[in-house]
Amino acid sequence: MVEEDRYCPDILIQLSAAQEALRHVGRALMANHLRHCVTEALTEGSEARVEATYDELLELIYKHSR
* 3-class SS of residue 35: helix
Q: What does pLDDT average to in each consecutive run of 10 residues of the chain (66 residues)?
A: 91 96 93 94 93 94 83
The pLDDT of residue 51 is: 95
Distance, in Å, from the CA atom of 1 to the CA atom of 15, rounded to the nearest integer, reads 11
- Provide the whole-model pTM: 0.73
Cα angle for residues 30, 27, 13 (degrees, 5° grid): 155
Whether the CB-CB separation of 39 and 31 falls below 8 Å is answered with: no
